[in-house]
Amino acid sequence: MEVEINGAKILATFENVPLFGTVQITQTLAVAWLVMLIISALCVWLGSGLKVTGISRKQAVAEMLYTSLVNFVRGNMGAGFDRYIPLVGTIFVTSVVSNLIGLVGIWSPTADLMTELAWALVVFVLITYHKIKAAGIGSYLKGFLDPIFILAPINVMSELFTPVSMACRHFGNILSGTVISALIYAALTAASSALFSRLGSSLLVGVVVALAGGGTALLGRKEGKKFWFILGIVVAVMGILGILANLGSTFPWLTVGLPAIVGLYFDWFSGCIQAFIFCTLTTLFIKQAAGD
């Protein structure tokens, strides 16, 4: 079988738009707007009905989120950088929601390099601004000639590669998760069709397997042996699915539930940790550029 892994789906193409020429509206943008809607709704919901005393559970959560964000920024940058709290928070929440939206089968905007590159460019502008502000434009430009002028191209490249590496780190992790998910899904589909075509080759096989599984489950339950009980149920379910396959069902049953176990790492853990890393790098780079 063939496994195809594509980029974002192109939803609409507009030819001859002034300035841009051909404009392609992709899935990335559509889902990004969906993510924005979700986050904005969440913000409005969490930010409404706030009270000074006698707070609700919702407000307690909202305040905890706010406090941890403030602590994160202050912990990484120290005091005096409070104006970057909204930026860091926005990048973090957008990244997390974009990564996790892939869990419900929607295209992740973060699986498109342009999303991360957009954030990284904003951070790059801030880094450069702080470098120039801290050292002055003259010393900033002269810094490229350090330690000798021949290294200037390398210095320029290292400067430019900061946003590129930030973007690619995040993008690569999410993309690899998407690729692995697609591969596992394809493998499970293949395994499913192989298994159930055997079980469903005749009605008798399915019925026998189902009965054997049911018997084992009953026995395991009577004896109080958990292992046999669970094994019996699994075998019985397989028998029943075999009967369904014999009756004409082609649904790849093995893809139900099993990819979620792998997704625990590639979607949940990776999705959250990459957002965290991106924000940590943002704060550290800006702090470093400000030079105090």
- The residue ranges that bind other proteins (CB under 8 A) are 5-10, 13, 20, 23-26, 28-29, 32-33, 36, 39-40, 43-44, 46-48, 50-53, 59, 62-63, 66-67, 69, 85-87, 89-91, 93-94, 109, 112-115, 117-119, 121-122, 175
**Cβ-based nearer residue to other proteins, 118 or 191:** 118
- C-beta of 167: minimal distance to other proteins in Å? 10
Cβ atoms 81, 279 nearer than 8 A: no
Tell me how far apart the alpha carbons of residues 9 and 21 are, in angstroms, rounded to a whole number: 19
First to last CA, the chain: 57
**Cβ-based nearer residue to other proteins, 97 or 217:** 97
Reduced to 3 states, what is the DSSP secondary structure of residue 231? Answer: helix
Residue 162 sits at the vertex; the CA angle it makes with 5 and 10, to the nearest 5 degrees, is 30
Residue 209: exposed, middle, or buried by beta-carbon count in 10 A (0-12, 13-18, 19+)?
buried
**Cβ-based nearer residue to other proteins, 98 or 246:** 98
- C-beta of 77: minimal distance to other proteins in Å? 16
**Cβ-based nearer residue to other proteins, 20 or 227:** 20
- C-beta of 264: minimal distance to other proteins in Å? 24
Cβ atoms 152, 144 nearer than 8 A: yes
- C-beta of 159: minimal distance to other proteins in Å? 19
Helix (H) or strand (E) holding 25: strand 21-26
- C-beta of 74: minimal distance to other proteins in Å? 13
**Cβ-based nearer residue to other proteins, 94 or 270:** 94
Tokens (6 digits) for 213: 């599984």
